[in-house]
């Protein structure tokens, strides 16, 4: 009897020891791949089973062992709750933590396209409509740091209900990557060139016409002639009456007291009037000499019509801007 009890005791101890060893091994293979690590995208395809997901996680370097992950997923019940979608996952997360992330579902995101030539007010409306930021929050943050002109137009993905500063950071990083190197070619006129590019973006389609208008506007400023740019007047009007459409501009609008009213004030406006893209910046950096002093845009064709004299400009206004 005593021998039998000894055997049973030894077997029980051996079982516990073996279970402990296996438990330790199991926990090791469920542990993080790295102590630290940046999050990286990981996508769970629609219809993927938990074994497929485990295989992709191991291939991506997110987990130590797909077998250990599979076993944990089954034992914990998470094998049935892993959801398709795009995630941000770090190799510093343990297997169970990653399983919880994939079971909770992907972070909800919005794709927002910011076209060239929008103002901060316009972008704020886009972001709030997409539920990325609350109405007015992005605009307030932009105005605090005077960032108009540096909100680079592009297509972005944002988390819903983002911090406005994080959204701004993404736009500024894109500006620094794509626009700042171009402006750095003429560092002494960087601000002026950004203002000029913003005017070109709003006023003139086509790179060659933008180069001509850039030279024309530089010539007017040098001569002390007001720019008389409708887009800058629209910016002044939008700041004062954000819910009122800019067009049509009236004689009363041209009397709005604002440093952005280039009908009342000579020289450049104090800042950019929109957020230009690369081609508008290129146009500002490569002004072209011409005999022209005036221009307008044909509302029907979008073509830029140039004039050498004020009489020729008035004639063009009657031809293109007056309803016949």
Mean pLDDT, the chain, integer: 88
DSSP 187: G
pLDDT at residue 35, as a whole number:
78
Query: Residue 25: pLDDT band by 50, 70, 90 thresholds?
Result: low
Query: Residue 18: pLDDT band by 50, 70, 90 thresholds?
Result: very low
Query: Residue 1: pLDDT band by 50, 70, 90 thresholds?
Result: low
How far, CA to CA in Å, does 69 sit from each of 80, 195, 233, 250? 13, 56, 62, 69
pLDDT at residue 100, as a whole number:
87
pLDDT at residue 266, as a whole number:
93
pLDDT at residue 62, as a whole number:
92
pLDDT at residue 160, as a whole number:
75
Query: Residue 34: pLDDT band by 50, 70, 90 thresholds?
Result: confident
Helices (H), the chain: 2-30, 50-59, 66-76, 95-104, 120-129, 137-145, 164-178, 180-183, 190-203, 207-223, 230-240, 278-285, 310-320
Look up the CATH number of domain 19-104: 3.30.1490.480
Of the CA atoms within 13 Å of residue 228, those in its CB half-sphere come to: 12
Which pairs with CB-CB distance under 8 Å and at least 24 residues apart come from 70-74?
A: 71/26, 72/30, 72/96, 72/99, 73/99, 74/50
Q: Where are the domains of the chain?
A: 19-104, 109-178, 189-290
Query: Residue 24: pLDDT band by 50, 70, 90 thresholds?
Result: low
* CA atoms of 92 and 109, how far apart (whole Å): 23
Reported as a single tens digit per residue, the pLDDT across 268-290 is 999 999 999 999 999 999 999 99
The stretch 11-23 carries a mean pLDDT of: 45
Say which CATH topology domain 109-178 has: Dna Ligase; domain 1 (3.30.1490)
Number of H helices, E strands in the chain: 13, 6
The number of beta carbons lying within 10 Å of the beta carbon of residue 65 is 19
* Per-residue tokens: 51: 């074994």
Contact 323, 247 (CB under 8 A): no
* CA atoms of 83 and 71, how far apart (whole Å): 18
Query: Residue 323: pLDDT band by 50, 70, 90 thresholds?
Result: low
CATH topology agreement for domains 19-104 and 109-178: yes
């Amino acid at each position: 009897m005593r021998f039998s009890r000894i055997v049973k005791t030894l077997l029980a101890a051996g079982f516990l020891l073996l279970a402990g060893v296996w438990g330790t091994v199991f926990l090791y293979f469920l542990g993080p791949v790295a102590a630290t690590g940046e999050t990286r995208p990981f996508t769970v395809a629609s219809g993927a089973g938990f074994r497929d997901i485990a295989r992709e996680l191991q291939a991506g370097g997110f987990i130590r062992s797909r077998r250990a992950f599979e076993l944990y997923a089954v034992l914990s019940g998470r094998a049935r709750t892993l959801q398709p979608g795009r995630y941000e996952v770090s190799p510093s997360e343990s297997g169970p933590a990653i399983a919880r992330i994939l079971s909770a579902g992907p972070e909800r995101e919005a794709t927002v396209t910011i076209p060239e030539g929008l103002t901060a007010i316009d972008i704020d409306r886009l972001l709030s409509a997409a539920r990325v930021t609350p109405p007015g929050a992005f605009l307030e943050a932009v105005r605090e740091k005077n960032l108009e002109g540096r909100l680079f137009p592009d297509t972005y993905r944002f988390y819903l209900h983002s911090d406005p500063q994080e959204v701004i950071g993404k736009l500024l990083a894109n500006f620094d990557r794509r626009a700042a190197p171009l402006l750095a070619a003429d560092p002494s006129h960087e601000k002026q060139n950004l203002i000029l590019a913003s005017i070109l973006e709003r006023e003139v389609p086509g790179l060659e016409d933008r180069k001509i208008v850039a030279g024309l506007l530089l010539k007017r400023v040098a001569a002390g002639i007001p720019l008389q740019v409708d887009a800058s007047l629209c910016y002044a009007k939008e700041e004062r009456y954000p819910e009122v459409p800019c067009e049509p501009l009236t004689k009363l609008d041209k009397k709005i007291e604002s440093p952005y009213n280039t009908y009342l004030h000579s020289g450049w406006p104090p800042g950019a009037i929109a957020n230009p893209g690369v081609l508008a910046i290129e146009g500002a950096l490569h002004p072209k000499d011409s005999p022209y002093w005036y221009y307008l845009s044909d509302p029907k064709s979008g073509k830029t019509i140039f004039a050498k004299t004020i009489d020729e400009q008035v004639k063009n206004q009657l031809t293109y801007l007056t309803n016949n």
